[in-house]
Amino acid sequence: MFPYYNELLDEEKDELKEVIKTLHLQTYILERKYDKKTERYLPNHLYRTCERHLDFLKEYFKIADMDLIENRQYGIMHIVTQNLQGDKLSRLTTIFLLLLKLIFDEQMNMASSSIHVYTSLNEVYEKVQLFRLWNNKSISPTELRKTIAALKKYQVIEVTEEMGDLEGDTKFIIYPTINLLLDSQSIAGIIEQYQEEEEVTDDGQISSTFEDVSE
C-alpha cells in the first residue's frame, strides 16, 4: 500500500490527504456540489481523487475498520465505521432529516426525470406543524443554526445563499446523501414514534446518531 503512495507526485499526495481528512470529518464526498457563485452544480475534485485512488483508499480505511463505499447511483463516496458511534444528533436535527427525506421523495416522485431538489425553511416548518413534531414550541435561532450546520457538515444540504440570519424563505438544496441516511419505508414509523415521544434527555437530545439513522 505505502509503496503506491510513495510513488505519487507531491500534488497527488496532497490531494489524497485532503480526501482522507474530508472523509474523516464529513463522512460523505459528493460527485457534484452546488456552487453559490455560478449557481450551478459543478464536479467535485475530491470525488475524482477518490475514483483515481479508490483501491488505495479502501485499504487505508480498512486499517481503521472502516469501509469506503462508492455509490454510483447517487454519486457519493462515503465511509462506514465498524463498532464506532457517530455524532449524537439533536432532536431537531433528527426531525429535519426525516422531513427532508419526505420532501426529497415527494419532489423526485413528481419529476419525470432526475432533478435537483430545492426546499425552504418554511416548507420544513409546515411539515413540522403538520406532523406535530415540535409540540408548538418555538425553535430557537441557536438550535436552528446548529441543526443547519450539522446537515451541511454531513453533505445533506447546501444553503443556496450566504449564511446570515436564517429566515423562513431561506432556500437550500437537499443532496441525495439523504437516501443513504434514511429508508423511505421506515419514515412513517419513525415519525409516529416521534409524535409519541415525550421523554428526552436534559439537553434536549435523543440517543440517535448519524450512524444509527443510516442503519
Residue 6 has pLDDT above 90, yes or no: yes
Distance CA 45, CA 35 (A): 13
Average pLDDT score over the chain: 86
The backbone region for 112, taken as left when phi is positive above 0, alpha when psi lies in -120 to 50, beta otherwise, is alpha
Beta bridge partners of 118: 173
pLDDT digits (tens, 9 = 90+) for 56-102: 999 999 999 999 999 999 999 999 987 655 667 888 999 999 999 99
Residue 205 has pLDDT above 50, yes or no: no
pLDDT in the model for residue 211: 64
Beta-carbon contacts of residue 11 (< 8 Å; ≥ 6 apart): none
DSSP 118: E
Closest CA to 49 of 16, 9, 5: 16
Going along the chain from its start, the domains and CATH numbers come out as: 2-81 (no CATH), 88-214 (1.10.10)
pLDDT digits (tens, 9 = 90+) for 97-142: 999 999 999 999 887 666 789 999 999 999 998 888 887 678 898 9
Higher pLDDT, 206 or 67: 67
pLDDT digits (tens, 9 = 90+) for 161-194: 876 778 889 999 999 999 998 877 777 787 888 7
